[in-house]
Amino acid sequence: MPFASPNAWHYRPADDAGIVELASWRGAGSLGLRPHFHDENQIVLVLSGSRAFRIDGATVTVPAGHAALIPAGLLHAPMPTPDKETVCLNAYVPAGRTPSSLRVISIRALWRSVDEIWPKHILEIADDIQSRGRSRSARIADKTKLGVTLTESAGPIDAIAMNFGRSREGFSRMVRRELGVSPHAFRVLSRLNLARQLLRAGEPIAAVAVDAGFSDQSHLTRLFRRTFGTTPGVYWRG
C-alpha cells in the first residue's frame, strides 16, 4: 500500500471481501486523534515505532512487531508518540466474534513494509486474536443495544431516557458509564461512521454531509479530520 506523503493517514478500499478498508501511516511518531469508535473491528499492525491508545482511562502501547485488535464499538483515543518513525497499517474487518477489550499479540516483525502484507496475512492475524478472546458478555450485548438505540432513534434524549425508565441526567450518566461519552457525542461519532460508509460507496461529500446529519460540508470536514486524521475529500479519493 503506497504512501502518498508522510505524516498523514491514507485510506483505500481493500481487494478482499473479508476486509472493509485499509489505512496506512508513515511519519515521525504517530498522530493523536479525538476519541472515537468504529462499526468494524480494527486490526492495528505496527511495523516500526509504536502506537498508543487511551482506553477506559488507561494507556495501551502497541510496539513494533505487534498487532492489536480494537473491537467494534470500543471507544479509543489514539495518542501521539515520540518515535522517530512509525510505520503502521490499519485494517477494518467486519465485526464477528469479538473480545470485549483491546488485545495485543506479537507478529514477530515478519514484514519490513506494508507492501509485503497481503489480505490473507491480515485475516490470519484477525482470526488469531479473536480465537484468543472470550465471547462478548451480556453486559457487552446491553452496551450494543444502548448504542443502537441512540443511533437509530431520531427523538430527543429526554424521550429515549424515558423509555429506559430514567431521567435525562440519569440516562446521560448511564451512557457515559457504558459507552464512555455523552449521548450527544455518541450520536456524532455514529454519524461520522455513517459518513465513512457513504464516502466508501462513492457518494459526493456535500450529499454525505446532509445524509449523515451534519449542518454542512465544512462541519463534516472539521470533525472528520479531528477524528480520523484525514479530510473527507482525501478519504473519498482513496
Domain residue extents for the chain: 10-132, 138-237
Indicate the pTM of the whole model.
0.82
Q: Which fold has domain 138-237?
A: Arc Repressor Mutant, subunit A (1.10.10)
Of the candidates 217, 222, 216, 212, the one whose C-alpha atom is nearest the C-alpha of residue 192 is 212
SS3 130: helix
Other C-beta atoms closer than 10 Å to the C-beta of 88 total 23
Calpha distance 156→121 (Å, rounded): 45
Q: According to CATH, what is the number of the domain 10-132?
A: 2.60.120.10
Alpha-carbon span 153 to 187, nearest angstrom: 10
pLDDT tens per residue across all 238 residues of the chain: 444 456 789 999 988 889 999 999 998 888 899 999 999 999 999 999 999 999 988 999 999 999 999 999 999 999 999 878 899 999 999 987 666 678 899 988 777 778 888 889 999 988 888 777 554 444 555 677 788 889 888 789 999 888 888 888 988 998 998 889 999 999 999 999 999 999 999 999 999 999 999 999 999 999 999 999 999 999 998 7
What sign has the CA pseudo-torsion 31, 37, 40, 45? positive
What is the SS3 assignment for 68?
A: strand
